[in-house]
């Protein structure tokens, strides 16, 4: 079996344990998502988000639920904590999903892959509108459309 030359991440960890020295090479934990936009063929990179289900995510939920419980303790007592954990978790999850969905939309051509999966015609129309505006700003006709006669040319024929 072919094994690439060089030192892998596991080899670096082993070296650090054995020698006690830290490597100067940066570890690549997660580069996030790298892909090309379908609409404009530009490389896109999404930073790795704080993952839902991670300890940090649950810590945020617990701290927020605890804070809300302290604010409403004289009404709900300790039952308020149980009352707030699920709704706060749902709100955090909804915010996480909205941020990820917003990050997927291309800033250059407005291609939305989620919208494309749900309604292709609407996604195509959205991208066409953005490109039409870009062509109008530059003063070029949109491809596939005939060039509109200018007013001066129309007044000469009339």
Are 83 and 54 members of one domain? yes
pLDDT of residue 3 exceeding 50, the answer is no
Kindly state whether residue 118 falls inside one of the protein's structural domains: yes
Q: What is the mean pLDDT of residues 125-139?
A: 88
H helices of the chain, in order, are 9-19, 55-71, 73-76, 79-104, 113-118, 120-138, 151-157
Identify any residues that bridge with 44 across adjacent strands, giving them in sequence order: 35
CA distance 111 to 130: 9
Are 84 and 36 members of one domain? yes
Structure confidence at residue 1 as a pLDDT band (50, 70, 90)? very low
CA distance 82 to 60: 15
Kindly state whether residue 43 falls inside one of the protein's structural domains: yes
Contacts of residue 90, defined as CB under 8 A and 6 or more positions apart, other chains included, come to none
Q: What is the count of structural domains for the chain? A: 2
Are 48 and 102 members of one domain? yes
Kindly state whether residue 75 falls inside one of the protein's structural domains: yes
Kindly state whether residue 56 falls inside one of the protein's structural domains: yes
Tell which wins on pLDDT, 27 or 139: 139
Structure confidence at residue 121 as a pLDDT band (50, 70, 90)? very high
Kindly state whether residue 64 falls inside one of the protein's structural domains: yes
Task: Tell the residue number behind the tokens 């870009």, with chain if given.
Answer: 134
* Domain that residue 116 falls in: 110-142
Are 120 and 59 members of one domain? no
Are 77 and 126 members of one domain? no
Neighbours of 41 (CB within 10 A): 9
Are 77 and 59 members of one domain? yes
pLDDT of residue 4 exceeding 50, the answer is no
Q: What is the mean pLDDT of residues 84-109?
A: 86
Task: Tell the residue number behind the tokens 């945020």, with chain if given.
Answer: 60
CA distance 44 to 35: 5
Q: What is the pLDDT of residue 150?
A: 55
Per-residue pLDDT reduced to its tens digit, 25-75: 555 555 567 778 887 888 888 876 667 778 888 888 889 888 988 888 888
Are 44 and 94 members of one domain? yes
Are 38 and 77 members of one domain? yes
CA distance 40 to 28: 28
Neighbours of 127 (CB within 10 A): 20
Structure confidence at residue 110 as a pLDDT band (50, 70, 90)? confident
């Amino acid at each position: 079996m072919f094994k690439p030359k060089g030192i892998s991440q596991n080899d670096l960890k082993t070296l650090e344990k054995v020698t006690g020295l830290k490597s100067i090479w940066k570890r690549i934990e997660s580069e996030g998502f790298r892909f090309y936009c379908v609409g404009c063929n530009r490389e896109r990179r999404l930073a790795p988000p704080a993952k839902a289900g991670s300890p940090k995510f649950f810590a945020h939920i617990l701290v927020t639920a605890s804070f809300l419980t302290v604010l409403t303790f004289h009404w709900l007592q300790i039952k308020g904590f149980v009352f707030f954990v699920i709704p706060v978790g749902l709100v955090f999850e909804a915010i996480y999903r909205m941020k990820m969905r917003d990050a997927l939309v291309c800033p250059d051509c407005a291609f939305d892959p989620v919208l494309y999966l749900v309604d292709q015609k609407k996604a195509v129309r959205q991208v066409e509108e953005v490109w039409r505006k870009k062509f109008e700003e530059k003063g070029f006709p949109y491809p596939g459309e005939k060039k509109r006669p200018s007013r001066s040319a129309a007044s000469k024929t009339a």
